[in-house]
Amino acid sequence: MSFVARGLLGVASVACPTLALAEPAPKAALPAAPAPVRLYMRNAGPPLTFSAQPESAQGTRASCISPCDVRLSPGDYRLKLNGRTVDDPLPLRRAGTLHGEYESRAGLRSSAWLALNLGGIIGGVFITVGAINSSPAGVAVGGGVLVGAGAIFVITYRADRATVSFTPDPPPDVRGMPEPATMSGSRQASLEPTSPRSMPRGLGFRIAF
């Protein structure tokens, strides 16, 4: 290369420094978000309220009353039935059915409170009478009643229990049914309600011959 050509290239690089810089490498494309999975909520007996709380920020919150179905982002979820949290989180990464079981122990709790209240009343009466009459036996009987009532309460009182299991198949009531169609464009616009201002008002008639 001649001396003149080199000089011209040097002047151009000084005047336009951007020409001397290498072009930055293109940024790598971000991975696409995973498609949501469709999950059906089913249970035997009266309807239950299913709630799904994601363990990570990328998950999707959802809640519905069975029988129902929702779409969730794949991930680990903390599930609830009627507000009662299931013990362990459940991995949900494919479509399927969630089977909920809710065991209500309200009757046992009522019995526990009844035993505790009755034991407190009866034991309190024995202790009071024994103390007034200076009867150690009466005080001992009252104390025994109180201890027994407390033991019955501890043994009988139980919280409700919620369990959820997963199967990778849809429930029998939806097997063979097509997926709900998603309408868009002119078809969706034609089904949208018309604005009240654009609807005709009043009475009218038309005669055709």
Residue 158 has a pLDDT of 73
Per-residue confidence of the chain (209 residues) as pLDDT tens digits? 555 455 545 545 554 554 444 555 666 665 666 788 898 999 888 889 999 988 887 777 889 998 999 998 888 999 999 888 888 888 988 899 999 988 877 787 788 888 888 888 988 888 888 888 888 887 888 888 888 888 888 887 777 788 888 888 888 777 666 665 544 444 444 444 554 554 445 554 455 54
Concatenated DSSP letters for 139-192? HHHHHHHHHHHHHHHHHH----EEEEEEESS--GGGTTPPPPPPP-HHHHHHHS
Name the packing angle between helices 106-132 and 136-156 (round to 10°).
170
Residue 145 has a pLDDT of 83
Residue 169 has a pLDDT of 83
Distance CA 179, CA 126 (A): 70
SS3 197: helix
Residue 65 has a pLDDT of 92
Which letter does DSSP use for residue 36 in this model? P
Residue 31 has a pLDDT of 65
Look up residue 17 and give its amino acid.
Answer: P
pTM for this model (two decimals): 0.53
